[in-house]
Structure 1
């Protein structure tokens, strides 16, 4: 009998016993699952499976090969050992997990038959990305030979102690050498049986196997990384409760300004909040005109739903608020943080988290700040009660093969998911979005709230529960008129002559390309005082763009020339908006920047601009079918009143549904049904999913615009002296958000390419005049009209 107080003397990491790591990982997975109630897997099956995959996931580290690698100090020898197949631990661990799950779970339905294979895939790939499952089915002779060598190298006495420890943690079978040897001998015949089941997946068109695999994979890789870096003691969720009252009290602090728009905002707020909540209704919508206070109304409803779910189910749901653009993430997170502070709640990161590619790597809990590496793990794992994130982060968690993004997949379970400005989802992904969100709602027991002024037909009306009677609000709106001027195409010079620029009104011109916007700005600037006009595009550094938006909000600017970046969610207001033709939902979003607060009547002109070759700028940017549908609809009107917009937008989406192809979305769904995570033959696979598709190549350029930029660049260059990669990355993460305020993306084909220094094109302060115009941004030479 082995002394239970002893240790196996096997290590998972240089300072950690293997059994401790396995057992603590298992405890973390259980704690994650215990806070959830999902339909995709029953509790008993989950506990059996999770116990096995967590206690087996690093079993292969028990080999003498791995132990030798772990404690070899000579770097050259260590690197040599690292590349040896015998040192790799995941496959041996996966074979053990396959058989233990097979012996524990006897269900004969599709999920039950596939469970051992799912466990095998999860453990085999827990240090990498998921792959096409059909390439994972047969092990070759070399792999089988390596498995035998690994098994024989394990110290018998240490294995016996390890088995005793794992048995006390819930593993029902001993991982003996003879048993595992038998597993290795028969693994291929078992995997061949699985192949037959996999072939049937496409016929069934069921996303639940994909969700189950991703859910369990996510739980393991999150628990594994959290155990190593953060520790089991730092995963307890905060004691906080959300309720509608938090928003009510915050709203009560606002100055009471009675106006038509405020009365409608209040009416919409009350209608949503007075709605009886049926927790069986999983997919909902708040469809209101722009400027009607959707953000606070949505937050209030989400908190009311949170409160009801907590009282009825005992589950503390997370609130995931997803938006298409970084600019509106800042705007909305500021509102939420103010709301929490007003109610005496410190908005630590454990309560509210902003997560996008430029997020600060800072994580706080009870005013205590975590170390950089811990903070990174906690942030990227969405360890927070309210997560504000981009569509890219959200959808690339939902549709992904990547280890890094799938780590937070399990957070989609038991969440209230708000998709704001949902019209930004490309049409080709409507079907994919519908099928996956339905499955997330039903299988992972989550709630989806679509928020928009232009509700796309992702779901039929009978499939989505409206929280407001939208027609009542749209038909009362009378802030703007849309005036199509599309009988002929016009040049930029002709556009500058269309309006009396001395009429005292404010004008916003939204153009389709950076080049056309720059040219038009220069034409307009010659006609009006410099201090009354600004320009914005993605070729102006973000720091300067934000300053210009603030100037507009302060009422200091009469004329703005921009690209589409102000189209959705940016809270600016002009008397007249002029929009180069775009798809109708984009035009409607642009109209939301006109007379938002209902002072008199705003005008929105839609024109068709051409370049010096007579080519329409719109064709460089938008799908020709969407533009064609928009032209057909607008050509029937001399003027469109705001009250008519709802039925016109609905007609537009109906036409889009009938005439646009969704083949790419269907092919992606097929890849999801069949677990085709990657592909070597060029076929559609999950790894090819891109929410935002760039059809041109871009490179990042750092613009040394001022003294702050000089200092940031100096700090960046100093990083090269830090040899340790992790330390270098951690230090960069501390100032990354500020650094990227001076980074823009430029076309990779420009003739005047700045020099490449340490991964960025670098425009230093002394050469600004050669590359960067302080008003219109990067000076592009030798590229097409899109720029």
Structure 2
């Protein structure tokens, strides 16, 4: 009964209270069997105690509410193993479970549980419409599942905390109660910002205009502001003001890359207080929780990663979207807390295009039926409206920025020049003439070979920045780059595209290998970022690299840009960006925007729902690199974490989070060769399996360029000593 009451409480704001209560009442119905009683008495008998509830709920409900009963059945059947597919070849589909012969359930449950399956259909069901009705109903199922599994987790946790005589601190102060202090703190923070330059004055004007739009009704918005226009602070201010007016319960800020999440989370903590901000992403380091916090505070933050109960959450697109499409209970339990949130999607153009259609459909459903306000925040707005894209989002009239086209002109701090072919010799000559310059290329191989050639030519102040280096190493390099830029020292950086999205650097000159227009505009955001130099002298040179053909995906985007170039020669204009994205979507077609056919996994047939929750979750991957991780024990902190792999009581997940900043992704064949030759190896495989491949030969990790896996056959001098 406790699970049912808590599940109903969690689902009440969603309008799904009765369905969640029914799921909570019946989720453990299989415990009303003699087999389960024998297990309680100590017999080693495995008992399926969830299938009985899934079968029972469908026997109780008919007519108009049958679909809702099926959603409850999915949730009950999956509350341990994860949401199942309705049918298919895999073992454990919902149909398999419903057809399974189960042990007789003691009829006393009917009296004790008093399940009353009425009014399961939520009031917002009237907004469920074709052609997306099946997808919308599937999201209801996800929300019921989230409420059930979160209630079940918390009920179990409460039982064991009493049994073990310990306390668990999960309670967070309500966002609405905190908003007056948050808004005061934000205003004080902004008073410290000077308006002593035209750029700072313009940033202030943008902020005031965006805050003025907070009275608009909840739903979908865009915020289109060029790089350096203050999008982060403006979007936070909007979220605070909008949440106060419309009663939102949470602010979620999603960022595409872990490489830039630190700087955003640091800003939020400085303004709102570290105790109110949950930072959750794959690179989170649990040891950071220890800084200035009591043990119970550290535990509270770790627990909040499970259910996102904090008033402010800073996370990644991967965490957000993969949770929204998850089937596993541990990942899906936070969904009900995503409802009624203000969600800021920073760098919205980075939503993977092969998943664009399901992502848009989910965002639209969260805004339409689950009280969310969603802000697509970027300098390169990806044209997701219905005029540009079939099935696009209702974004007309929902732009928060004042005169985006005018802002693009006012904040234009660089100009683009097309140079045609430039081989490495030409790039080295260009670098020799510029004491501070950035070159961005499309592959790690090109970056490494150009870096080495420039070094051989005696170019001073060279730095290399690619994913050959682990994230912890890249952070140190970027800190050094910023210091050299400030002190006017020679600094020539050769990088891959990882430097483009949100990395705060300001070079007077930039060279960019041909790519999509959105990438070129992002590269331009690293040129004269603070507007200290004349725009006419701040040049972004776009070149073809004849010896390094672009990957197929980028080649397609280059073609898209070239097709719009005759009509839009000014590539930094918003019109050019809109035309470019329309061209991209046209080329990719409907199928390309849902490459894995995620949306098609959710159907309504004559026989009822046909939802493939589990297989959709398996195929919904924001990042599909085809690479495998190698951990680089670069410093004492990493080496200590690796040593803890031998301590059985420390979870693999905790250590993995500590080591995330020390991972380099390498081709699978290269990792296999490293391991075969003893250059890397799995640590404590008897305890951790093949989860932690750690580099043993640190001579393969060069201080300036990172991991040279191509030298996997190399034997270090010390390996030759017998």
Q: TM-score range by the shorter chain?
A: 0.7 to 0.9
Q: Shift of residue 629 of structure 1?
A: 1.6
Give the match's secondary structure for 2:650.
Answer: helix
Return the alpha-carbon distance in structure 1 between the equivalents of residues 505 and 298 of structure 2. 37
Structure 1 residues 226 and 628: CA distance shift in structure 2, 3 A: same
Give the match's secondary structure for 1:549.
Answer: helix
Consecutive unaligned residues in structure 2, runs of 5 or more: 118-127, 162-167, 388-393, 684-689, 713-722
* Among candidates 503, 506, 529, match of residue 573 of structure 1: 506
Return the alpha-carbon distance in structure 2 between the equivalents of residues 201 and 451 of structure 1. 28
* Among candidates 226, 245, 252, match of residue 308 of structure 1: 245
Structure 1 residues 700 and 658: CA distance shift in structure 2, 3 A: closer
Q: Cα deviation per residue 1:602-622 (whole Å; 9 max; x = unaligned)?
A: 1111111133xxx51x135x3
Return the alpha-carbon distance in structure 1 between the equivalents of residues 610 and 426 of structure 2. 53
Q: Shift of residue 404 of structure 1?
A: 2.8
The question of 1:94 aligning with 2:94 is answered: no
Return the alpha-carbon distance in structure 1 between the equivalents of residues 613 and 138 of structure 2. 16
* Residue aligning to 1:288: 225
User: Is the contact made by 2:349 and 2:382 (CA closer than 8 Å) also made in structure 1?
Assistant: yes
Mapping for residues 294-693 of structure 1, pairs under 5 Å: 294-310=231-247, 316-341=248-273, 347-348=274-275, 351-361=276-286, 369-370=295-296, 376-460=302-386, 463-464=395-396, 465-468=398-401, 469-486=403-420, 489-497=421-429, 499=430, 501-504=432-435, 506-528=436-458, 532-554=461-483, 555=485, 558-600=491-533, 601=535, 602-611=538-547, 615-616=548-549, 618-619=550-551, 622-634=553-565, 640=570, 644-666=572-594, 667-674=597-604, 678=612, 685-693=616-624
Return the alpha-carbon distance in structure 2 between the equivalents of residues 141 and 599 of structure 1. 68
User: Is the contact made by 1:131 and 1:676 (CA closer than 8 Å) also made in structure 2?
Assistant: no
Q: Cα deviation per residue 1:57-99 (whole Å; 9 max; x = unaligned)?
A: 1121232322333453xxxx73xx23xxxx1111112223334
Normalising by structure 2, what TM-score?
0.83
Q: Cα deviation per residue 1:714-742 (whole Å; 9 max; x = unaligned)?
A: 222x22xx2xxxx331xx55554442332
The question of 1:273 aligning with 2:218 is answered: no
Q: Shift of residue 458 of structure 1?
A: 1.2
Return the alpha-carbon distance in structure 1 between the equivalents of residues 565 and 458 of structure 2. 31
Return the alpha-carbon distance in structure 1 between the equivalents of residues 215 and 98 of structure 2. 59
Kindly tell me the number of residue pairs found equivalent between the two proteins.
653
Structure 1 residues 248 and 202: CA distance shift in structure 2, 3 A: closer
User: Is the contact made by 2:644 and 2:650 (CA closer than 8 Å) also made in structure 1?
Assistant: no
Return the alpha-carbon distance in structure 2 between the equivalents of residues 213 and 679 of structure 1. 10
Consecutive unaligned residues in structure 1, runs of 5 or more: 1-22, 174-199, 311-315, 342-346
Normalising by structure 1, what TM-score?
0.77
User: Is the contact made by 2:284 and 2:658 (CA closer than 8 Å) also made in structure 1?
Assistant: no
* Among candidates 127, 143, 148, match of residue 100 of structure 2: 143
Q: Cα deviation per residue 1:521-551 (whole Å; 9 max; x = unaligned)?
A: 1111233465x22111111122111011111
Structure 1 residues 340 and 27: CA distance shift in structure 2, 3 A: same
* Among candidates 640, 643, 648, match of residue 711 of structure 1: 640
Give the match's secondary structure for 1:749.
Answer: helix
* Residue aligning to 1:747: 667
* Residue aligning to 1:728: 650
The question of 1:52 aligning with 2:40 is answered: no
User: Is the contact made by 2:527 and 2:540 (CA closer than 8 Å) also made in structure 1?
Assistant: yes
Give the match's secondary structure for 2:410.
Answer: coil
Q: Shift of residue 570 of structure 1?
A: 0.8
